[in-house]
């Protein structure tokens, strides 16, 4: 079983490989992705890393407030996405 970690306040230049390398000393990484803006293709400054369930808290504790690219990271367990009001958009 795996848990997904939210990693916020990423440097704009951070890649999925950077996230994987950041977390891998603390937990086995299943997958990593940086959230990208659909219109500009630029990083949104946060990402998600899927790790083994029993290693998630170790990674959270180890990486909370760690500096990456001059920015202090925010790390916690990702929450499910909230449904957006208004239903689907039609253009």
Choose the weakest-confidence range: 23-27, 48-52, 70-74, 77-81: 77-81
Residue-range domains of the chain with CATH: 2-77 (3.30.70.330)
**For residue 89, what pLDDT is reported?**
67
Mean pLDDT taken over the chain: 92
SS (H, E, C) the chain: CEEEEEEECCCCCCCHHHHHHHHCCCCCEEEEEEEECCCCCCEEEEEEEEEEHHHHHHHHHHHCCCEECCEECEEEECCCCCCCCCCCCCC
Q: pTM of the full predicted structure?
A: 0.85
In this predicted model, which residue has the larger pLDDT, 36 or 91?
Answer: 36
């Amino acid at each position: 079983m795996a848990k997904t970690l939210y990693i916020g306040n990423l440097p704009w230049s951070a890649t999925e490989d950077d996230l994987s390398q950041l977390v891998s000393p603390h937990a086995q990484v299943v997958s990593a992705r940086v959230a990208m803006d659909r219109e500009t293709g630029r990083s949104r400054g946060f990402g998600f890393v899927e790790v083994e369930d029993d290693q998630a808290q170790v990674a959270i504790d180890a990486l909370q407030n760690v500096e990456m690219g001059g920015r202090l990271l925010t790390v916690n367990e990702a929450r499910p996405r909230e449904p957006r009001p208004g239903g689907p958009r039609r253009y």
